[in-house]
Amino acid sequence: MKLAFCLFKVFPFGGLQRDFLRIARACQERQHEIQVFTSSWQGDTPPGFKVNLLPARGWSNHQRIRNFSSDLTGRLSKQRFDAVVGFNKLPGLDVYFAADPCYEAKVRETKAGWYRWTARYRAYRELERSVFSPAKKTRILLLTEAQREAFIHYYGTPKERFHLLPPGIDRRPFEFPDRRRVSLEARRRLGVGDDDLLLLMVGSGFKTKGVDRSIEAVAALPTAWRTRARLQIAGQGDSAPFLRLAKKHGLGDRVTFLGPRQDVPELLTGADLLLQPSRTEAAGMVLIEAMFAGLPVLCTDVCGYAFHVQRAGSGRVIPSPFQQKGMNDYLLELVTSSGTRADHSRQALRYTEATDLSSLPEKAVAIIESLPI
């Protein structure tokens, strides 16, 4: 098949981007021709990929993606593809990988009524409708059942167009012959002592991931535990406002931004607890990665994969609506009980052995290949 893969931006360390690359490579392994249409590509281009750059035009994000959508439609009309696969909400898709939650649901649940009169809202609503309208035929690849219910509620999308995928986590980077040695080396690289409590966050977009919530929770710990805590954040984003918040709480020397990292499996193996108090999160691959590393998790229930944490018994899930005190109490419970963390770790490893957490690319390829040519 001749396949067009479409997404607004490609950059290292993004969850959506990793899923895109794994699915595209799986298609390539089955001898399909891959062309990518994007506004920017950071990092190396995989061999055999033809990348078409459509530079984004406009002053705002919604203007840029709307113009990208228009330019993409024009480019796709000049070639014949057997399937057009999108990783952002764009018109003309045969298959859409739903890495993002329902925008209309987010607006209705978190924004004031006047917001629906803005140009930003109209642009994103139009793009979402171009995928989920009942009049369209786009097949939708979902990460969680909760996503499906939101889209059906707001758009009336026929249920048969949705296909639920398992996670797509590669377990091989977590298969260390000596986990203890890897843990000690990772902690040494980060300057974390044996008696310190390494609280790790992984992901770009620090406000969305709830870095401020984590800082507030660490600040609320009793002094004896607060002085042992080390909050370290791996990912890409603007760290300045969060460093100011940490300094305000007297945590300037205990909060560190590591930048994008290639050694995330090692960091997860060396940490004591993963914090993921996200404000919105369609999936949250790092929750599954933490399970492969045997790392206990504290996350919000808005994370799409939070249900895996609950099923596994591998951590604590903060219910909605988010209350900072609730997170503070959970964090105190987890840092003060090494026995509870050890139990969560064992449960996580058992769950990864018994559950399909890796076949997302293969299942996605099967759906793409099932399209009529």
Q: Are 120 and 114 in contact (CB under 8 A)?
A: no
Spatial separation of the C-alpha atoms in residues 49 and 26, rounded to whole Å: 12
Amino acid letter for position 203? G
Spatial separation of the C-alpha atoms in residues 233 and 222, rounded to whole Å: 22
Q: Which domains does the chain have, with CATH numbers?
A: 2-168+358-369 (3.40.50.2000), 172-354 (3.40.50.2000)
Q: Are 315 and 327 in contact (CB under 8 A)?
A: no
Spatial separation of the C-alpha atoms in residues 63 and 72, rounded to whole Å: 14
pLDDT digits (tens, 9 = 90+) for 259-289: 999 999 999 999 999 999 999 998 999 999 9
What angle, 0 to 180 degrees and rounded to 10, lies between the N-to-C axes of helices 145-155 and 103-110?
Answer: 80
Please give the angle made by the CA atoms of 19, 310 and 23, to the nearest 5 degrees: 10
CA-based nearest residue to 8, from 63, 48, 74, 77: 63
Per-residue pLDDT for the chain (373 aa), expressed as one digit of tens each? 999 999 999 988 788 898 999 999 999 999 999 999 999 999 899 999 999 999 989 999 999 999 999 999 999 999 999 999 999 999 999 999 998 889 999 999 889 999 999 999 999 999 999 999 999 999 999 988 888 999 999 999 999 999 999 998 989 999 999 999 999 999 999 999 999 999 999 998 999 999 999 999 999 999 999 999 999 999 989 999 999 999 999 999 999 999 999 999 999 999 999 999 999 998 999 999 999 999 999 999 999 999 999 999 999 999 999 999 999 999 999 999 999 999 999 999 999 999 999 999 999 999 999 998 7
pLDDT of 38: 98
pLDDT digits (tens, 9 = 90+) for 223-236: 999 999 999 999 98
In the numeric block, which tokens belong to residue 309?
Answer: 């944490």
